[in-house]
Structure 1
Amino acid sequence: MARAIMFQGTGSDVGKSVLVAGLCRVARNRGLKVRPFKPQNMSNNAAVSDDGGEIGRAQWLQALACGVPSSVHMNPVLLKPQTDMGSQLIVQGQVRGEARGRYYQELKPQLMAAVMESFAKVGDGADLVLVEGAGSPAEINLRAGDIANMGFATHADVPVVLVGDIDRGGVIASLVGTHTILPQEDRAMVRGFLINKFRGDISLFDDGLAAITRFTGWRSFGVVPWLKAVSRLPAEDSVVLERAVRGDKKALIVAVPMLPRIANFDDLDPLKAEPAVEVVMVPPGSSLPADAGLVVLPGTKSTIADLLALRENGWDRELVAHVKRGGHVLGICGGFQMLGRRISDPAGIEGNVRDIEGLGLLDIETMMEPEKVVRNVEAVSLLHDEPLEGYEIHIGRTSGPDMARPFARIGDHDDGAVSPDGRIMGTYLHGVFSADRFRHHFLRALGVEGGQMNYRESVEEALDELAEGLEASLDIDGLFALA
């Protein structure tokens, strides 16, 4: 079994995913064969791994940081929330059904075998495996049968480092409180802690570090400052969208309704990186900005439920007004399905609504079907005759007259639809804006210059900058010596 270290957080969104990605790049730069692993993830931001299954986007990024192909075994259990009470369960890349509340708690112990099998596969041939936990180990009400945090750490005998987020406040209490509440067996797995997202003079927290060590007996591995490179990396959790604020007005405003079950919103990251583009995430209860030149309907884990939410917010009427003003619309995956005249779900795959009228902006209809399409693809944009690389993760089959004007060509078949005037577009392809030349032509058609930046290179550069920041702020030798 490969050497391993596990990073657990005092809560969600403390920065574990990005830290592990950065440490993966640190290890790679030091000449180590390093691999990422996350036993259980809950996210609607999924990726198609290089071996053809679904994993969390964070593990895809971590594999990129390691310089290795991504694999379903890097995230053997993925939960994709589709209702308030249940999630789609993905095990080793494949759909295994729906997991609901208490039923999933009873199911978790049965999933440990798959988790350990995947952990062994990831570690095969590696010098080091960096493991990411989920949520917090202090949720002791979920400890029985746990596979995400201490349940995995104790089962696999992997040492743990706790990550605390000082930016949200209360980091001393969160670390000391975690120490207090953990059972002795779990507490013994913790070898130390690190502080993330510090702003200002780090020396001002020296007494804080000493206090944490005094109360817990855990050593400090350092304090990570707020690193600008993080903002240039794809985010996995939708909580980052809730913090988005409008900046200075740019040449092109791109409005994106924040649907309740929004998925794969990192499709927008290349647009956010464009100097002339401002991406405005529109929260429920707010109106679509009247000055938007483009509205993007993003992917969603539940198309019908989010279409209902879109109507409840009045965004359907605002979208029609946007089009009448001459604005453009792009629907991606579930957003594409919403643009049609009708969505039918006779088998109740998405819920109790069997048939619903769409937005009617494209002359298409979608029939929900049980078979799920999960694949990486190479395509050609038929709008601009430029190559595309992306991926598909969807259920449903779409047809109709506007499909005669496809958005892209994938191998021997067409994808998507475009309205007769070219202003309403839809596609099942995720990741289209990562293609620089396509992005250049797409933005130029909307009246702005863009696409000069190599987006993929910018992500690689951000990973390198992140690694440099971690090398400078953490005791890397001490961390890696834990394994």
Structure 2
Amino acid sequence: MSGKPFPYRTLMVQGTTSDAGKSTVVAALCRLLHRQGVRVVPFKPQNMALNSAVTNDGGEIGRAQALQAQAAGLAPHTDMNPVLLKPSSDTGAQVIIHGRVRADMNARDYHQYKTVAMAAVLASHQRLLAGYETVIVEGAGSPAEINLRDRDIANMGFAEAVDCPVILVADIDRGGVFAHFVGTLACLSDSERARIVGFVINRFRGDISLLQPGLDWLEQQTGKPVLAVLPYLHGLHLDAEDAIQTGQSVGGKFRIAVPVLPRISNHTDFDALRAHPDVDLQFVGPGQPMPQADLIILPGSKNTRADLDWLKSQGWQDALRKHLRYGGKLIGICGGYQMLGHTVADPHGVEGAPGVTTALGLLEIDTTLTQAKRLAQVNGHCAFADAATGATVATVSGYEIHMGSSHGAALARPAFHIADGIHARPEGARSADDQILGSYLHGMFDTPDACAALLAWAGLRTDNRVDLAQLREASLDRIADASAGLLDAITSLPQWECAR
């Protein structure tokens, strides 16, 4: 790597499209700079995602920023993602500022609110500049979205406000990569175009020499350098920002099905299961029949009542009952846990119109949605581990993000015991026949002991273990190693001057 110091206090990574690789490039640069001893911090002004993480300061940020913090050797903090939007419908979202719920807004109201959101963004950026040498910023979507240019806080609006340079990333695996770059530049103003210091082509596979004529043409057409062509890396274990990686696990004998709800949240809960060599995990989409499975897991939801109605409309309620009749096991996580009970009540209209929805009636609980959101990182042990594995203790770590509380007879058979000061509190519930388990605990499969205990409870006996934290670390190192040339190219760029 170059021995030159990193030249920028703030550098922004924008993409020509969503899922172009912005999150990965930011994580790679954070890991590379961290290796060099640079005090680097990730930052995303505005994120729209249903995968979130709980921070050490008791707030909520996008899960991708938590991963980038890990790459930088940091604990996640709310300043790393000051504005988080969690869609609750096609036109509305929960607005989270500095880790806390501010309001539920429709798209038009949020557009007017952006001036307030920008103030929060700039305040967080200033605090990060005061505490770190370099801030690596991730944009959102694409800067070429003309309809979102007014009051933009996520892409060039932020770059212009703080006067920082930008690198532009495109995914060649989608096709049309050169049109993506040239078309994006054509949609920018002169000052915005001047901010782009170079291009990054992501997910390339093949003979690089065959790509060279296109690279030469792009540089001639735009006058901007191609900083790096990054390879397509298979087998990465990195937290997805939002998109679900479809397809099944390869080679597993133990079958797990996960219904994909319209507002599924924190589907990263299943990353450890996807990586398990004995597990065949399948996400089941709309219109698809529920496959035969050893275990079905109902995931979290940003709108439990609406997703519950949708689940019933798919005919999956009958499929779940049939699954249980044939001896299958069933787990519900967070919103999925709430769906398992008799009723879900929303007296305050937290997720929509106030009312009560009849749930699946599979677990002896009732749930009431509350206006206050519980955010907590937790540790404990599995309440069922003795019977499932013979182990004395199976530890578990995870986090809670939910608005609501559940009560009922099933809570007398908890899923976990969570450390609470010098005491332990019961968490979650199990059915009397031990076929059904529900919990508010996200990340329950991430701890190797808990993952093994849960799979043993569901019927899988194996000596194989998956350490998701170790897999994430190895994946961060892989993307950093593949991006070493990009860091060198950025460091070797001519001195960037303010565009204004």
Q: Which amino acid aligns with 1:183?
A: S
Q: 2:438 aligns with which of 412, 422, 426?
A: 426
Which residue does the alignment assign to 1:466? 479
Deviations 1:186-232, CA, capped at 9 Å, x for gaps: 11111111100111112211111112112211111010110125x31
Which residue does the alignment assign to 2:299? 298
Q: 2:10 aligns with which of 4, 9, 17?
A: 4
Deviation at 1:441, TM superposition (A): 2.2
Cα pair distance change 1:425/1:13, threshold 3 Å? same
Task: Normalising by structure 1, report the TM-score.
Answer: 0.96
Cα pair distance change 1:22/1:209, threshold 3 Å? same
Q: Aligned equivalents of 1:247 and 1:265: distance in 2?
A: 15
Does 2:99 align with 1:86? no
Which residue does the alignment assign to 1:454? 467
Does 2:455 align with 1:443? yes
Does 2:432 align with 1:394? no
Instruction: Check whether the contact 2:348–2:354 (CA below 8 A) recurs between aligned residues.
Output: no
Which residue does the alignment assign to 2:74? 68
Instruction: Check whether the contact 2:249–2:275 (CA below 8 A) recurs between aligned residues.
Output: no
Q: Aligned equivalents of 2:219 and 2:250: distance in 1?
A: 43
Deviation at 1:106, TM superposition (A): 1.4
Aligned length: 476
Between the aligned residues of both structures, percent identity stands at: 45
Does 2:55 align with 1:49? yes
- When structure 1 is superposed on structure 2, of 109-118 and 360-369 the one drifting more is 109-118
- When structure 1 is superposed on structure 2, of 25-34 and 390-399 the one drifting more is 25-34
Which residue does the alignment assign to 1:479? 490
Cα pair distance change 1:189/1:327, threshold 3 Å? same
Deviation at 1:2, TM superposition (A): 7.3
Does 2:144 align with 1:134? no
Which residue does the alignment assign to 1:270? 272
Which residue does the alignment assign to 2:152? 146
- When structure 1 is superposed on structure 2, of 101-110 and 131-140 the one drifting more is 101-110
- Structure 1 gaps, min length 5: none
Deviation at 1:469, TM superposition (A): 1.2
- When structure 1 is superposed on structure 2, of 334-343 and 438-447 the one drifting more is 438-447
Other structure's SS at 1:414 match:
strand
Other structure's SS at 1:369 match:
coil
Does 2:372 align with 1:371? yes
Q: Aligned equivalents of 1:377 and 1:12: distance in 2?
A: 32
Instruction: Check whether the contact 1:274–1:450 (CA below 8 A) recurs between aligned residues.
Output: no
Deviations 1:360-403, CA, capped at 9 Å, x for gaps: 11010001111110111112211114221111000111000011
Q: 2:286 aligns with which of 280, 284, 287?
A: 284
- When structure 1 is superposed on structure 2, of 395-404 and 15-24 the one drifting more is 15-24
Q: Which amino acid aligns with 2:415?
A: F
Q: Aligned equivalents of 1:346 and 1:155: distance in 2?
A: 42
Deviation at 1:40, TM superposition (A): 0.2
RMSD value, Cα: 1.5
Q: Aligned equivalents of 1:286 and 1:265: distance in 2?
A: 19
Instruction: Check whether the contact 1:80–1:89 (CA below 8 A) recurs between aligned residues.
Output: yes
Deviation at 1:112, TM superposition (A): 1.4
- When structure 1 is superposed on structure 2, of 462-471 and 278-287 the one drifting more is 462-471
- After the TM superposition, list the runs of 4 or more consecutive aligned residues in structure 1 that deviate by more than 6 angstroms: none
Q: How does 1:19-30 map to 2 (within 5 A)?
A: 19-30=25-36
Q: Aligned equivalents of 1:50 and 1:371: distance in 2?
A: 19
- When structure 1 is superposed on structure 2, of 54-63 and 436-445 the one drifting more is 436-445
Does 2:39 align with 1:33? yes
Instruction: Check whether the contact 2:44–2:137 (CA below 8 A) recurs between aligned residues.
Output: yes
Task: Normalising by structure 2, report the TM-score.
Answer: 0.93
Q: Aligned equivalents of 2:491 and 2:88: distance in 1?
A: 38
